[in-house]
Structure 1
Amino acid sequence: MVSLPGGSLDSWTVKSIVGTMFPILVVLSILELGSGFVLETLEETYLGNPTLLVLVPVMIDMGGNLGAILSSRLSTRLHLGVLEFDPRDTVLWTNILAILALAGTIFTILGFVAYGVGHLITGEPMALWDLLVISVVSGMLLAVVAIVLSIGATYVSYKQGLDPDDTTIPVVTNVCDILGVIILSVVAIAVLGGPPLHVVLLEELGAMLVVF
């Protein structure tokens, strides 16, 4: 079992909290611009299938929320000194399976809700099966990413002697925002057809370089 050295209260100072979180938030804020760039690059794909736009905010929000739940539970166990970074830790696996079960349930429901909203807004929503596949597959992939990020961020915080309460949730939620858009876009392109995401991004970057 592991716990934070020196006691968790040692990090409860303005200097410690700001010193830890400020550089992290600056870097994450810059990276967040990437999700906007992806959305702008795939504007035609999303406008051609407006029902997909219903998925975007919920997808990135729920991915971050699931990661935040696991990060919070891991941080609590670390502070209590009962966390084990061991594949045989049954409590850790219970938490992971709970997150995956939540993701499967939420993103399945999201597919049906998005279909209904799309029907109300456009009158001609995407095929329900396509929407369910996009929602569930991208949602489960994002949940796996959130789990890996949560465990990784907690472990790195522990090894560096940082308070995971200051680091894990900002890292997990912001990175899930970025990767959520990318994963959703990749899955949508795979299901609906179209040029691969990296090809579209390279073309957009090339066009920007020509302008400059």
Structure 2
Amino acid sequence: MNRSSECITKDSSRLITTELKPPDISLVQEKSWNAAVQMFGSFLLAGFGMVAASLVLDVVQHWPVYEQVSEVYILVPALLGLKGNLEMTLASRLSTHAHLGHLENCLSTITLGNLCLVQCQAILVGFLAAMAAVAMGWIPSGEFDIHHAMLLCASSVLTASVASFVLGVIMIGVIVISKKLNINPDNIATPIAASLGDLTTLALLSWIATLLYRSIGTNILLPAIIIIIGAVLVPVCGYAAWKNKFTKQALDEGWVPVVSAMVISSAGGLILDFTVSNYKGIAVFQLVINGIGGNMAAVHASRLSTTLHTGQLEGPVISATTKLLLLMVVPGQLVFIYTIGYLKAGHTSLTPIFMLIYLSAALLQVFLLLIISHYMVVWMWKLGIDPDNSAIPYLTALGDLLGTALLGVAFHILYAIGDKDSDLGD
């Protein structure tokens, strides 16, 4: 039997040992301009997806469920952040499989394993996010409403489950099609996952929470049934992922990074709470700087992880990819800054001094993230940890922390030097 046509796994913890054919060397042959076009296009898509999610949030926050069950609003950033990490690590894993040639011979096995893995992770993550929202809503007031708690848990679990399945299928399709079109999936997969993840998750959460809110008092068993079904799916999907040779390691390694990322992001949330109370105009720019920074770090980590999996040298810290990503910061930020200004979504006038200081903060954030990304991925690889499973949650959380802190410093500098127009800090 021809070994190149089989799906054979040797005893090892790294994907590169699942040898189907010689690894794809497209990362070596890839032209810089081609990579730049692919990455910049995906960043624009991710950014506009983020803007669309912001517009959806602006609408749904006035729905009755958000006004009467305020914990749903608390649930939004936690669920979106945790789900985003799961989808981006999925995209990174699938990109590596594509370069190693696994999708051509083992597509069904990889698809089944990864869909089961993200179901198990998403349902648990959704329940964890709901518990955090319940706690944050209960502790300040001292009042506990069982109906609201059940609504939050059921909404979060069902949203995470449906969104993970839909986005997982979409990501597999995107990566398979990109390989057929000779597009490097490492350049586009993680930003697309980020752009679709926020919008899809937010829309589903709002719709499901509204339906469950309307059922309070008439169908009290519905939230309990959803939670029970989710509790049954977790061990079933977890066992299927553990038995799958392509996802067993991801199931073992994927939990600590996601929970750690939530803790790091919480630190960024404390900084944001302080800065927003002093500079109201910071909120909308925080979404932009954190979104772009996190996406760029994720692409860098995904490409470097693929390079290591395919047996290529890791390259210098300031690589061609690093330079390309840094060159995209200013034009990308300008597109979204002026989009925000056109939509009148911000509370800050776009003066020349504001643009200079804001863009300096964005450049510094991305530069630090790319350096951290390089050392983190290489360090994980040397420890036998697959960076596709572990690096991106840390990087996106650090992106939130760095972006929020640097943006706070930028607004403080603007205020100190007198560029405090009628909107700045209003």
Change (3 A) 1:121 1:166: closer
**Which one-letter code corresponds to 1:104 in the other structure?**
V
What secondary structure is seen at the aligned counterpart in 2 of 1:126?
coil
Partner of 2:296: 66
Gaps of 5+ in 2: 1-11, 18-244, 418-426
Q: Is the 8 A contact 2:257 2:391 kept in 1?
A: no
Distance between the aligned counterparts of 1:187 and 1:172, measured in 2? 22
What secondary structure is seen at the aligned counterpart in 2 of 1:188?
helix
2:340 is aligned with 1:133: no
> What does 1:128-167 align with in structure 2 at a 5 Å threshold?
128-167=351-390
Gaps of 5+ in 1: 195-212
Q: Deviations over 1:158-200 (max 9, x none)?
A: 1101111111212211211121111111122122229xxxxxx
Partner of 2:118: none
Distance between the aligned counterparts of 2:319 and 2:16, measured in 1? 28
Partner of 1:111: 337
> What does 1:1-212 align with in structure 2 at a 5 Å threshold?
7-8=14-15, 12-14=246-248, 16-47=249-280, 50=281, 52-86=282-316, 93-117=319-343, 120=344, 125-193=348-416
What secondary structure is seen at the aligned counterpart in 1 of 2:366?
helix
Change (3 A) 1:116 1:29: same
Q: Is the 8 A contact 1:67 1:172 kept in 2?
A: yes
Partner of 2:20: none
What secondary structure is seen at the aligned counterpart in 1 of 2:254?
helix
State the Cα distance separating 1:141 from its structure 2 match.
0.9
What secondary structure is seen at the aligned counterpart in 2 of 1:82?
coil
State the Cα distance separating 1:127 from its structure 2 match.
4.4
TM-score using structure 2 length: 0.39
Q: Is the 8 A contact 2:293 2:366 kept in 1?
A: yes
Q: Highest CA radius of gyration, 1 or 2? A: 2
Q: Is the 8 A contact 1:111 1:132 kept in 2?
A: no
Change (3 A) 1:152 1:116: same
Q: Which has the higher contact order (CA 8 A, sep 6+)?
A: 1
State the Cα distance separating 1:109 from its structure 2 match.
2.8
Change (3 A) 1:86 1:53: closer
**Which one-letter code corresponds to 1:68 in the other structure?**
A
Change (3 A) 1:133 1:7: same
The alignment of Structure 1 onto Structure 2 pairs a total of residues equal to: 179
Distance between the aligned counterparts of 1:7 and 1:68, measured in 2? 20
Change (3 A) 1:61 1:86: closer
TM-score using structure 1 length: 0.74
What secondary structure is seen at the aligned counterpart in 2 of 1:161?
coil
User: What is the aligned-residue identity percentage?
Assistant: 21
Q: Deviations over 1:47-75 (max 9, x none)?
A: 2xx3x322111111110000011111101
**Which one-letter code corresponds to 1:193 in the other structure?**
A
State the Cα distance separating 1:131 from its structure 2 match.
3.0
**Which one-letter code corresponds to 1:99 in the other structure?**
L
Q: Is the 8 A contact 2:286 2:404 kept in 1?
A: yes
Q: Is the 8 A contact 1:107 1:136 kept in 2?
A: yes
State the Cα distance separating 1:83 from its structure 2 match.
2.6
Cα RMSD for the two superposed structures = 2.4
